[in-house]
Amino acid sequence: MSQGTIAPPQAEAQSQPPGRGLRTKRQSAAGRRKLHQREVRGAWTLLSPYMVLLLIGGIIPIFYAVYTALQRPATPVQPEGGFGGISSFVTVFSDFRFWQTFGNIFSVLIVWLPIMMLGIVGLALLVHASPGRFGNTMRFLYYIPGALAGIANLVLWVYLLNPAQSPIAGLWNVMGLDTIKAVVATDGNLPFILAGMLFFQGIGTWIVVVNGGLNGIPDEVLEAASIDGANAWHTAWHVKLPIIRPWIGYAALMNLAYGFQLFLEPQLLDQVSSNALPDQTTPTQLGYAFAFSNYNFPAAAAMSLILLVITLGIGLLIVFRSGLFGEEEK
């Protein structure tokens, strides 16, 4: 899988599709075929390092996970394991935590996604409406929190969430929360805290992406709108928003897929709040627990495959429906 990177909606050349360039008529059909064979061989030679890595990092683990999921877990009584059919899926689905973890993800998504989308689109429009140095400076400042990825963002939030020394200790005091454990574990707080963390680390780069989409709008279109008497609001609402709809859909789906794999944040918030949170808040944590607490590899593989199917579905939607990836992959 991608090492945590998403593609920008990309500018694309107006160059011709491969192979449709100059071909002299003197070439015979046989000669052309020979040339083409050379081209094919060259292509696969050049692709081979990537193909090897694709096999190691993508294809083989998927097939091996399918194989593992169909095994029986090794137990002290039956250390051999062996074919277990769909029993590992039964184990996963009947685990009391299974639906809970997805419920937890939904409660985070419901809080986070709307704020995230509103923030991305709103701030990208504001930046776009601010040409020159001011807009560029603001875009850069919005990007900075995104540089604190993963664990660094978490430590920053530990600093913010701990009433003992937080710059927003006042807020926690007003809410009657005086320890980080109380802040994190008080009922109903977690979705908002996770939403804040995800918003903080994700917003900046998405502003840049959507801003890139806005910069693709031809000046003539915006000029025409303003000649027709549209003010800034009208232009943003009736002209810019419809044009960047593919980027908005793209951002929404990518963030949705991201939400399903949450792991680090709940795992470490649990650690800093003296295990006051459920040990398995999210599906990925549950899969991790199957593998590393229960040593039930078949169930861990089954859990991974379930998450894989969900994110694969979202991924297919992005590639086919977002309208950003052209026709070549259809």
Partner 1 sequence: MSLVKAKPQKRAKTAHQEALAGPVGSNQMSVGRVARVATMLFVAAIFIVPIIGFVAMAFRDQDEVAAGEGGILGLGGVSWDNVVYSWSQVNGFGPGEGGLFLQWVGNSLFVAVIGAILAVVAAIPAGYALARLRFRFRRTVLFVTLLAMVMPNTVLVIPLFLEVNAIGASGELWPVAVIMGFFPFGVYLAYIHFMTTMPQELVEAARIDGLSEIGIFFQVATPISKQAVALVTFFAFVANWTNYFLPLALLSSVQGNKTISIGLQELIGASPLFNPTVAAGLNVKLYMPQLALATFLSMIPLLIVFIGAQRFLMRGQTVGAVKG
- Contacting partner 1 within 255-284 (CB under 8 A): 257-258, 260-261, 263-264, 268, 271-274, 284
Among 79, 82, 242, 326, binds partner 1 (CB under 8 A): 326
Closer Cβ to partner 1, 175 or 312, answer by number: 312
Q: Does 85 bind partner 1 (CB under 8 A)?
A: no
**Residue 172 C-beta: closest distance to partner 1, Å:** 14
Q: Total binding residues for partner 1 by CB under 8 A? A: 141
**Residue 4 C-beta: closest distance to partner 1, Å:** 5
The greatest distance separating any two alpha carbons of the chain, rounded to the nearest whole angstrom, comes to: 86
Q: Which helix (H) or strand (E) holds 2?
A: none
What's the rounded Cα separation, in Å, for the pair 311 and 25? 49
Q: Does 98 bind partner 1 (CB under 8 A)?
A: no
What's the rounded Cα separation, in Å, for the pair 126 and 139? 10
Residue type, 119: G
Closer Cβ to partner 1, 93 or 295, answer by number: 295
Give residues with Cβ within 8 angstroms of 324, minimum separation 6: 9, 10, 246, 247, 250
Closer Cβ to partner 1, 53 or 90, answer by number: 53
Closer Cβ to partner 1, 191 or 315, answer by number: 315
Q: How many CB atoms lie within 10 A of CB 95?
A: 17
Residue-level length of the chain = 330
User: Interacting stretch for partner 1, rule CB under 8 A, among 79-87, 105-113, 187-195, 197-205?
Assistant: 197-205
User: Interacting stretch for partner 1, rule CB under 8 A, among 77-85, 86-94, 101-109, 311-319?
Assistant: 311-319
Closer Cβ to partner 1, 117 or 308, answer by number: 308
Q: Is 156 left (phi over 0), alpha (psi -120 to 50) or beta?
A: alpha
Tell me 139's DSSP state: H
Helix (H, G, I), strand (E, B) or coil at 83: strand
What's the rounded Cα separation, in Å, for the pair 184 and 192? 10
What's the rounded Cα separation, in Å, for the pair 124 and 130? 10
Cβ burial of 261 (10 Å; 0-12, 13-18, 19+) is: middle
Closer Cβ to partner 1, 176 or 218, answer by number: 218
Among 223, 293, 294, 321, binds partner 1 (CB under 8 A): 223
Tell me 52's DSSP state: H
Site string for partner 1, 32-71 (x = CB under 8 A): ---xx-xxxxxxxxxx-xxxxxx-xxx-xxx-xx--x---
Closer Cβ to partner 1, 121 or 123, answer by number: 123
Angle at 129 between CA 125 and CA 133, to 5 degrees: 115
Closer Cβ to partner 1, 51 or 86, answer by number: 51
Among 109, 209, 252, 277, binds partner 1 (CB under 8 A): 209
**Residue 59 C-beta: closest distance to partner 1, Å:** 9
Among 93, 99, 106, 292, binds partner 1 (CB under 8 A): 292
Tell me 21's DSSP state: S
> 115-174: which residues touch partner 1 (CB under 8 A)?
123, 126-127, 129-131, 134, 138, 141-142, 144-152, 155-156, 158-160, 162, 164-165, 167
Closer Cβ to partner 1, 87 or 261, answer by number: 261
Residues 36-54 as b or e (16 or more Cβ within 10 Å = b)? eeeeeeeeeeeeeeeeeee
Helix (H, G, I), strand (E, B) or coil at 217: coil
Q: Does 108 bind partner 1 (CB under 8 A)?
A: no
**Residue 218 C-beta: closest distance to partner 1, Å:** 7
